[in-house]
Each structure stands twice: as C-alpha cells, then as structure tokens.
Structure 1
Amino acid sequence: MQEQKKILFVINPISGGKKKTAFNKKVLEVLDMQKFKPTFQQTTRPNHAYELGKMAIEEGYDAVVAVGGDGTINELGSALVGSGIPMGIIPEGSGNGLALYLGVPMNETSAINRLNRFETVDVDCGIINEKPFFNIAGLGFDATVSDRFANDSIRGPIGYLRSVINVISKYKPCKYELTIDGKLYEREAFMISVANSPQYGNNAYIAPNASVNDGVLDVCIVHKFPLYILPMMVFHLFNRSADQSEYVEIIPGKDINIKRLDAGPIHVDGEPVNMANDLNIIVKPKALKIIC
C-alpha cells in the first residue's frame, strides 16, 4: 500500500458568504483516503492562511488546499511560491477568477474529487511592490470598489454590485505614467488592471488573451469613457471582447512601473491594499504548482 500524502485544507469560514460547517465531513466522504491523510485548519484573521502555508512547508505537507476565494488563494499561494508544494483550490469565494480560468469545478464535491487525480500545472506569479498576485492586481476604479466591498456587511456578488453602484457615479479618472519593458506611456485612465489570468471572476474577462503560464503580464488600461457606454463595457467584459473596445488598451509586459499622483488603495487578487504612488511590477514564471 502506498504511503498517504499529507494534505492540509485551509478553510476561510467567511469567504463568499457561504457556510462551510459540513465541509470537513464532505472531504472525508469524497477524498481518496488511501491516497491522502487530510488535516483541517480554519483561518481566523487576515494573513492567517499565509502563516498556515508556511507551517505546512515546515511540517512537510505534500499539498495544501485553499478553501475560499481569490484572497485566500493569494495568501496561501504567496507562502508556497518556490516551495514545490502544490496548492489545490476549492472555490468558495465571491468571484473565483483563478479557479474558473484553470477549470476547477465550482461544485464543492467535484472540486474535492478533482484533488484525487493530483495533477498539477505550473503558474506564473506577478509581484507588485514585493506583494505576490496570481490572478489580477489593479488600481483606479476597481481598487476603490474592492476597498468599499471589503468594508461592506454584504458579501457575494450582490454586495460587490452594490459597491460598484456606490462608487461609479462619483469616480474620477486619474493620470498615470507607465513604463512597460522600457517604453513610456502617459495615460488618463478610469482604471488599470495588471492581469496574470484573463478574468476577475464570475466570467468577467478584462484580458481575454492573458495566460497564467506565458511568462508575461497583460496591462489593461481602461480609458475615460462616457457613462452611457457602461452597458457596452459590461457586455464586452462578459463576452470576452474587452480587447475590442475602443476604450480598452492592452499592453503585454514583464517589467512594469506605474506612477500615480497619490498613494492609496490598489487591489491584489481582489483584496484592497494601500500602496505608494510608485508601483513596480514583475512576473516570476512558473512560480507555483496548482492542482487542477
């Protein structure tokens, strides 16, 4: 009989506004217990998933699974980068952008069952001012929305939509100076997304041609647009055609600097973080193994 792989499930109990009280029982029913020996830990505070990831490395786990959304994946992935220890994903977030792109099933039972195959893919990691991201980092409008959403009592897509509506009528575009692989661009933009994967989540594609393992990030500049164009912009997002909009400019790059007028929030895989006005962004190819 083969030796069981030690696998740690890191559970965010509040992600996506979903209760996870029966999750451990479901794992014990679906996971191949001849292959795996599971352990369960719940996060109780910001950065706790990162700490648990580091603990898993020290204690010799064979795999770690993020049970949550893109924020939980970010913390755990940040801990595991370069370790060679693969990360699984059980999508339990509001958007689940990276999981959707990688084809991880949205159904909890199916996602647990997928772990039994233990097949991995190597994905790139973006780094913005030394903070890793695996899906999308952004500044401008969507960062302001993420900041508002993080402080909202309503989670899930409804809470996010409420944050969008609250921000959009008052938001003003900003001026940016971008240097992408040595070339200078000056832009007034509604928002800028730096995409490792094509979508934010919920199948909203900001960078339709982005890939998590091509060694390149897609810088998506959304220019100032009249408010009456908003329904068409939303259509482009969900029709995977954002790159066809006259208001969207996408520039691929590996070494990116963005200067803005003021420090303030950006979002890193959907989570708001305050950063300086000067942002340095690089890509680290094939930095993390993901079970998918």
Structure 2
Amino acid sequence: MSKLNILFIINPISGGKDKLKIPALIDANLDRSRFNANFAFTEYVGHASEIAEEAAGKNFDIIVAVGGDGTINEIAGRVMQQHKILGVLPFGSGNGLARFLKIPMNTVKAIKVINNCKVSVIDTATFNEKCFFNMAGMGFDAHISSVFAGNKGRGLSGYVKLGLREVLSYKPQNYRIAIDGREYLRKAFVISVANSSQYGNNAHIAPTASVTDGLLDVCIVKEFPMYKLPVLAYEMLRSKTDHSKLVEIIKGKNIHISRVKEDAIHIDGEPYFMGTEIAVSVNPLSLNIITPDYEV
C-alpha cells in the first residue's frame, strides 16, 4: 500500500509555546509505515494559508495545522477548497475546535490520532464570506481579540488579565438579528455564532452545538451587571449556558446581523474589522478532518 503524503504546518508563536522540537517529536511518534512526513514553519500572519495553497500542487493527502484555532482557520479553508484532509495538533491559547472534537491536548496522543487516520466530515460556515470553523462573533469577545492581537504576552493568563481589565469599560451594543427569516432586536454584550460548543479552554457558550447538524448556534449574551460575571463564567465552564438567564441561544442556517457602527469582529479568535451588515451561513459537511475514533 502506498504511503500518504502529510504536511505539518507549524505556527511557532501560537499559544506562546516553543515548537522547535515538534518535528523531532512527530518523527519519533508518527507511523512511518503509513506516512511520508514534511514540515513547514510559518513566518507571518497569512503564511499558513499560503503554504497550504502551495501544497495543493505537491501531492499532499493530509495537511496538519500545528497551532490554535487561528492557524486551523488559515489552513482549513485551503484544505476544504482542495478536497484534502485536515489534521490538528493543538498548540493554541484555547484550542476550541480541537477540544470539541476531543483531539488530545497531549501532543504524542494527538499524533497517535493522526496515525489512526479516522476521517470525519464536519460543517463549516462563512462570516461575510470569510470561512470559520469553530466560532465567530462580535461584541466584547471581538473587542478583546482585537486588543489581544497587539499583546506580546499571548497565552491564557494574558488573555484573562486583559479581559478583566477591559470588561468594566465595555458597553453593550444594539443589534438587529435575522435568523432564517425571523427578526430579533437585542442589546447584547456579545453575539457569538457557534459551530462547535466552545471558545476554548472548555468555556462552552453553546453546549448543544454540533458540527454535523447543518445548523449554527447564535449565542446572545445579554446586558448584565458586572457582579453576575462570575455566574456567566461558571455556567460556561459547566456547559450550562443553554439554561442561563444571561444567554439566549437560537439555532439557524442563514443569519444576518445589523449593528449601529463598524467595529471589530473575530473569526476563530482572530480579529478583523467589518462594517454594519454581517451575513452568516452554514456549509453542511464540507470539511474532511481527522478525529479520534468516535462519532462526531
């Protein structure tokens, strides 16, 4: 049986973790009877996408994102277009999609998942035509992503410190939301559109979300007094937001969000700046991805 050609695209700065020894770790644990391994390190924002694009003409069967949700986003869009297979070695700050898919955070165990090569097909989505795979949104989380992008101290602790600093001054915004033709007017602290259940670090904003149901979960975090912030954090960590008085969750396929002004948004945790009109839609069962041996 011929071997599969596999390319590991490594983001050296994701999650604030050193990855110079990753190729040696992969070499020591990858099943060489099944795979021919190649490695590439990214050097700037957008480079992972360029490498994945170039890989199309080099006969790679599997392209592995070694990084976090932002790295996955850059690579998965190209993998999907080329009808290739995506693999993930989680090395981000939150690893939302990997955690949802139960891909191990331990690198050796995650390599063994790739060795098993069980391929699942999952939904993807677009946010004003930009692909996302885990989570996209606007409001406070997008504001934090925008500020965090310029912060040298990347990692969970840096993110938490920044969030606590910014939360007291952030003001909720007014939104008009249309979900499959039904309209909602809401003043919200956050609007997250979820493909999987969590942002990362097991903080679940959409506990009943599925990556195979052909639906997105629109999660509206309502305006709330700051003394209830620990309640919201507890509900997210315990996967209870679907029963929360602070969060409204509406499932749908086609979503349009109108807001008062141009502002930050985030796509898989990476910040962008978009206008007042946001169109979101789901692409059912459109990405091939290696997962542990269970039903997604």
Please, what TM-score do these two structures have when normalized by structure 2?
0.97
CA apart distance, 1:43: 0.6
In the alignment, does 2:41 pair up with 1:42?
yes
Q: Report the Cα distance in structure 1 between the residues aligned to 2:112 and 2:232, rounded to whole angstroms.
A: 37
User: How much identity, in percent, do the aligned residues show?
Assistant: 46
Q: Which residue number in structure 2 is paired with residue 128 of structure 1?
A: 127
Q: Distance in 2 between matches of 1:214 and 1:232?
A: 29
Aligned position for 2:251? 252
**Aligned residue pair count:** 291
Measured in 1, the distance between the counterparts of 2:104 and 2:232 equals 28
Q: How does 1:210-249 map to 2 (within 5 A)?
A: 210-249=209-248
* Match runs of 1:201-216 below 5 Å: 201-216=200-215
Q: Distance in 1 between matches of 2:122 and 2:43?
A: 28
- The Cα of 1:113 is off from its aligned counterpart by 1.5
Structure 2 counterparts to residues 47-58 of structure 1, below 5 A: 47-58=46-57
Cα distance in 2 for partners of 1:44, 1:72 equals 12
Contact kept, 8 Å, 1:135 with 1:196, in 2: the verdict is: yes
Q: Which ranges in structure 1 are unaligned for 5 or more consecutive residues?
A: none
Question: Which residues of 2 match residues 4-153 of structure 1 at below 5 A?
Answer: 4-153=3-152
| Offset of residue 129 of structure 1 | 0.5
What letter is aligned with 2:195?
N
Alpha-carbon distance in structure 2 between the residues aligned to 1:164 and 1:152: 12
Note the alpha carbon deviations across 1:191-240, whole angstroms, 9 max, x for none.
10000000000000000000011100000001100111111111001010
- 2-structure distance, mates of 1:111, 1:68: 12
Bigger shift: residues 48-57 or 176-185: 48-57
Shift of 1:84: 2.2
RMSD, matched Cα: 0.8
TM-score (norm 1): 0.98
Amino acid at match of 1:115: I
- CA drift of 1:83 comes to 2.6
Q: Which runs of 4+ in 1 moved over 2 A?
A: none
Shift of 1:165: 1.1
For structure 2, the 5+ residue unaligned runs are: 292-296
Match of 1:176? Answer: 175
CA contact (8 A) 1:219 1:251 kept: yes
Q: State the Cα distance separating 1:245 from its structure 2 match.
A: 1.1
CA deviations 1:25-55 (Å, max 9, x no partner) are: 1111100111100110001111111111111
1:41-74 Cα deviation digits (max 9, x unpaired): 0011111111111112222211000000000000
Give distance in 1, aligned partners of 2:28 and 2:152.
33
- Is the Cα–Cα contact under 8 Å of residues 30 and 112 in structure 1 kept in the other structure? yes
Decide whether the 8 Å contact of 1:82 with 1:287 is kept in 2: no
- 1:248-268 CA-to-partner distances (Å, cap 9, x unmatched) read 100001000000111111010
**Offset, 1:141:** 0.5
| Letter in structure 2 aligned against 1:53 | A
